[in-house]
Structure 1
Amino acid sequence: MTKFHVPEGVVNNKGNIYMASTSPLNVFEAYYEQFQRDFSLFLKCRAEEVVEGGCMILTFLGRRSDDPSSKECCYIWELLAMALNEMVFEGIIKEEEVNRFNIPQYTPSPSEVKSEVMKEGSFSIDRLDVSEVHWNPFNDDGSDDGGYHVANLMRSVAEPLLTTHFGEAIIEDAFCRYRRILTRIMSKETTMFINVTVSMTRTAS
């Protein structure tokens, strides 16, 4: 999918790096409005490439719930925020640095995906499904290896963003803390990613 931009209007998302249960309402609104713009543009661009009657299938991280603060989509980032806030408490990084950092991602619900596809109008939906994937599909028993694998998975996504914002010096410490937090949580809870898959057909222009 096209790059998701960090939405404007999230300057008051204190202590969080993504949508979270403690985020104010305007943060959820800003993220959703940015998703609407980006996904609509994505559909418009793909419509120029797909012939009438052609099929397009998309799978991306989303959520089953209509609640944008659901743990289905936000929890993995809340735990990384917890690691960063530990570092704030210990004086390693500044609180305002965390407050200014927001993850450029949106995890839509099926109803949000359907709404944007219908609104943009270039495709009709043939099928819209939701599936679950364990945070660590190879080892979901909550062992230390589980936390290690998930931390490395998330590091591949988040490290470039963190390095650009906080600098390279904090990376090893941040992900060591993140691994420890993940290991603790995964030993107590069933943790899942939610995938949204949509199959669409290009309609007549």
Structure 2
Amino acid sequence: MDVEKVFCMNGGLGENSYTQNSYLQKKGSDMVKHITLKSLEEAYVSTTPESLGIADLGCSSGQNTLSTIREMVEAIDKTTYKFSNITPPEYRVYLNDLPTNDFNAVFKILPDFYKELNTERHLWSQKLKSSIYIAGYPGTFYGRLFPDKCLHFIYSSYSLHWLSRIPPGLYDKEGHSINKGSFYISKSSSLQVSKAYLDQFQEDFSLFLQSRSKELQSGGRMVLILLGRRDRTHVDRGNSFLWELLSRSFATLVSKGEVEQEKVDEYDAHFYAPSKNELEHEVKKEGSFEMERFEMFEIEHYSGPYMSHGTAVARTIRAIQESMISQHFGEEILDNLFENYGNLIDEEMGIEEIKPTSFISVLKKL
């Protein structure tokens, strides 16, 4: 399966859209927002450009994207307000994601966004008259996207754990998966499976760093938020366990004759949760960045009034994975699959917490 041509978050504004089901990602990014905004301020103060270049890599669609941009603009506005001799910069904001992304969902709300933001800025200070330019920039971030040294700040939230492709090392010479019955690294997976995923992550992240090092100005920063794991162990009661529960949900459909076991055996995730050491190793090896800050955190479980935590997680995963699953299995299984999935998560949460690990890493361009 060609990930670049198929993978995308569910577009639109419907019940299963990413816009309606990205609460957990927003909660995670908000938990470390103070780090993101401080890093942006430091990048700006160290260069004080007249035109500030910001890129959001893996922006997806919906309000999460624009709320982050609003906070960034407000943070720099406040920074310039402190110094009477600094004129607020114009803002060049590039929203990047794969060409399959629903960019139209963002473009449709841009006019109101500009109007509201500029009104707020004007009311806060007559001094804030600089322009804000926002553009869509489709393409994979595993490779070059922007001209040399045109950016001062790069932000990527919950995107870099998605690999550029399903690791080729997961298949034997006949093209059969060596990880049958599992979608990711599980207790039953061989060391070869773990190696295949690590190899692909190293290839991808190395290319990501090389590309960004050319596009970012010296002194610029990158803030990377992604799913990870606490230690060398791949199998934990976090990200890998959520993949295991999805496999179990498919097993239920197989037992009912709704899905063929052979189709399940052929399916693998293009996902990898790295460790801190694996991230640091690639940063050090590439050599263009200094890791200024690294923190590990966990998002508290959903406790809203309208649905269980399991249902909230299932809807979130569906909004992310539906494009890939429907391409391989067909759309008709989706409702039953994710209803089973939500129930399994709730059952397991009643036994013991499921705690996916997230990382935030701040990289400074040398």
Query: Normalising by structure 2, what TM-score?
Result: 0.52
Q: What's the offset of the Cα at 1:94? A: 1.0
CA distance in 2, matches of 1:38, 1:100: 23
| Alignment match of 2:328 (pick from 165, 179, 195) | 165
**Does the CA-based 8 Å contact 1:64-1:72 persist in structure 2?**
no
Q: What's the offset of the Cα at 1:71? A: 2.7
CA distance in 1, matches of 2:201, 2:360: 16
Q: Does 1:99 align with 2:265?
A: yes
Q: What's the offset of the Cα at 1:147? A: 1.4
CA distance in 2, matches of 1:137, 1:55: 31
> SS in structure 2 opposite 1:13?
coil
1:83-116: CA deviation from partner (whole Å, max 9, x where unpaired) = 0011112221111111111111111010110001
- Map 1:40-55; keep pairs closer than 5 Å: 40-55=206-221
Query: What percentage of residue pairs aligned between the two structures are identical?
Result: 33
Q: Does 1:138 align with 2:138?
A: no
CA distance in 2, matches of 1:67, 1:81: 20
| Alignment match of 1:181 (pick from 307, 329, 344) | 344
CA distance in 2, matches of 1:123, 1:144: 43
CA distance in 1, matches of 2:212, 2:191: 32
Q: Which residue of 2 aligns with 1:23?
A: 189
| Alignment match of 1:7 (pick from 164, 167, 174) | 167
**Does the CA-based 8 Å contact 1:144-1:183 persist in structure 2?**
no
Letter in 2 for 1:187: G
**Does the CA-based 8 Å contact 2:238-2:357 persist in structure 1?**
yes
Q: Which residue of 2 aligns with 1:129?
A: 295
**Does the CA-based 8 Å contact 2:296-2:357 persist in structure 1?**
yes
Letter in 1 for 2:260: K
Taking only aligned residues, the RMSD between alpha carbons, in angstroms, comes to: 1.7
CA distance in 2, matches of 1:92, 1:100: 16
**Does the CA-based 8 Å contact 1:43-1:120 persist in structure 2?**
yes
Q: Computing the radius of gyration over CA atoms, which structure comes out larger, 1 or 2?
A: 2
**Does the CA-based 8 Å contact 1:16-1:78 persist in structure 2?**
yes
CA distance in 2, matches of 1:123, 1:158: 32
Q: Matched residue pairs, number? A: 200
Residue segments in structure 1 that go unaligned for 5+ positions in a row: none
| Alignment match of 1:148 (pick from 311, 328, 335) | 311
CA distance in 2, matches of 1:179, 1:72: 15
CA distance in 2, matches of 1:91, 1:12: 23
Q: What's the offset of the Cα at 1:118? A: 0.6
CA distance in 1, matches of 2:187, 2:299: 22
Letter in 2 for 1:197: I
CA distance in 1, matches of 2:250, 2:232: 28
> SS in structure 1 opposite 2:245?
helix
CA distance in 2, matches of 1:168, 1:186: 28
| Alignment match of 2:286 (pick from 117, 120, 124) | 120
CA distance in 1, matches of 2:236, 2:208: 25
Q: What's the offset of the Cα at 1:150? A: 1.2
Query: Normalising by structure 1, what TM-score?
Result: 0.92
Letter in 2 for 1:137: Y
Moved over 3 A (4+): none
Higher RCO (CA-CA < 8 Å; seq separation 6+): 1
